[in-house]
Amino acid sequence: MALSALLATLLCTVVLPVLLFLVAVKLWEVYLTRGSDPSCGSPLPPGSMGLPFIGETLQLLLQRRKFLRMKRQKYGYIYRTHLFGSPTVRVTGAENVRHILLGEHRLVSAQWPASVRTILGSDTLSNMHGSQHRTKKKAIMRAFSREALELYIPVIQEEVQAAVQTWLARDACVLVYPEMKRLMFRIAMRILLGFEPEQIRTDEQQLVEAFEEMIKNLFSLPIDVPFSGLYRGLRARNFIHSKIEENIKNKVQESEKGSKHRDALQQLIDSSRKSGEPFRMQGIKESATELLFGGHETTASTATSLVMFLGLNPGAVDRLRQELREKAEQGMDLQNLNMEVLEQLKFAGCVIKETLRINPPVPGGFRVALKTFELNGYQIPKGWNVIYSICDTHDVAEVFPNKEDFQPERFLDRSFVDSSRFQYIPFGGGSRMCVGKEFAKVLLKIFLVELVSSCHWTFLNGPPTMKTGPTVYPVDNLPTKFTSYLPK
């Protein structure tokens, strides 16, 4: 009797709950895959939908790139999953990605996860479509024209030089990633939003912390309850909005007096007035927050990767310094950079491209299927999310031999560059290609010039482990010792 009672207890407390859980998972899988279109003869992509309601979101958030590689190895270049509250198809490979990027408005439409849309807002470029998207993109592109970039260069060089001198003056190690975020944040606040240096110094610590909190919770489950990721992200976003609103009001007052600003935020304010529509403070704040996110988070990630790859490849540093010496001997003024000089730094451009190949700061882009369509033998059902993978597409690109090696010189071959379309997509592609890519290239080149001209550096923890969340960064923040470089 005692044994029977023990078995019954074991069945009720362990075996039965496990069986019920497995049945629930199976029913969840069946329920979601019923969303396939019976009129389409192709099957759904292989894959798994994870746990009920939360899908595989937690695995992605915890494992990031390891999770993505594991899924790709198991299911191939196209597979289904369930992320951030929605059934999703993840797409890798140049030809597959080409169909998605060129299928904008016909097959797919840009749509980020619900948590991103909620935190960033509906008036952001990434969440707009059709004529609204074109109008806003045109306004922002004026702030990234060649003429505008020329005006930004002295401010960027001033900020980078000040940061580098601060690192050299420290006896202790420098945590590179946090320092890069602060540097790029200051540059973005001045150039993109028109903040004065005094304003930034006053609010910098609070703003940086708020931005950290917002970005950390940008990709979270769409549940707005106290202490949830979405709740914390929204609180941080609201603080950032309050500071940006103060600046917008000052800009509006000054422009009414005839003052002229040359930053991206002013372009958006002017565009809003020219459209004849009522001035919407919330819309301008959301656009400014998106600019700040795109203008500093991704560049901070790439600048950190530049320090890492160059520190691990001293031959590339030597070649950069040689290029700078040759330009100086030709009479170019590297102390006062301009667009003409930057454009002639070909190897510096290759170093940036190779860094973006191995460590693209943004791992992918989000779309939603406008109708059921076929992709490489599989059906993508209407309404499902589609993620095209940047990092995985770079990983599998056949055009890159010796993929694991840092070889900037591969980009010196023009024919190679032309053949790599859709195999190399660090800025996305199609009509949604990153509007600030030229700004990022200018900023990163200036950073490279100042870094290799002034510094030697040594990693205190050795080669770092990289993680994604939401952009690529070193887990240990890359502790580094900087010392002065004196040319021979």
pLDDT over 70, % of the chain: 88
- d(Cα 288, Cα 121) in Å, to the nearest integer? 11
Question: Do residues 468 and 363 make contact, with C-beta atoms less than 8 angstroms apart?
Answer: yes
Residue 448 has pLDDT above 80, yes or no: yes
pLDDT of residue 453: 95
Q: Is 385 helix (H, G, I), strand (E, B) or coil?
A: strand
Average pLDDT over residues 426-434: 87
Q: Is 57 helix (H, G, I), strand (E, B) or coil?
A: helix
pLDDT of residue 76: 93
Please report which confidence band the pLDDT of residue 208 belongs to, taking 50, 70 and 90 as the band edges: confident
Mean pLDDT for the chain overall: 85
pLDDT of residue 316: 97
11-25, 325-339, 472-486: least confident range:
11-25
Greater confidence (224 vs 93) lies with 93
pLDDT of residue 257: 61
pLDDT, tens digit, 9 for 90 and up, residues 12-66: 665 555 555 455 555 545 545 556 667 777 899 999 998 887 888 888 877 777 8
Task: From 376, 369, 386, 378, select the one nearest 91 (Cα to Cα).
Answer: 386
DSSP string, 430-467: GGGS-TTHHHHHHHHHHHHHHHHHHEEEEESS-SPPEE
pLDDT of residue 30: 52
pLDDT of residue 137: 84
Residue 262 has pLDDT above 90, yes or no: no
pLDDT, tens digit, 9 for 90 and up, residues 110-149: 888 888 889 888 778 888 887 888 887 887 888 888 988 9
pLDDT of residue 11: 60
Average pLDDT over residues 428-445: 90
Please report which confidence band the pLDDT of residue 1 belongs to, taking 50, 70 and 90 as the band edges: low
- Structural domains in the chain plus CATH codes: 35-484 (1.10.630.10)
Residue 276 has pLDDT above 80, yes or no: no
Q: CB-based contacts of 485: which residues, under 8 Å, 6+ apart? A: 452, 453, 454, 455, 456
Q: Which region, left, alpha or beta, applies to residue 235 given φ > 0 means left and ψ of -120 to 50 means alpha?
A: alpha
The pTM of the full predicted model, rounded to 2 decimals, is 0.87
pLDDT, tens digit, 9 for 90 and up, residues 277-303: 666 788 888 888 888 887 788 999 999
Is 434 labeled as ligand-binding?
A: yes
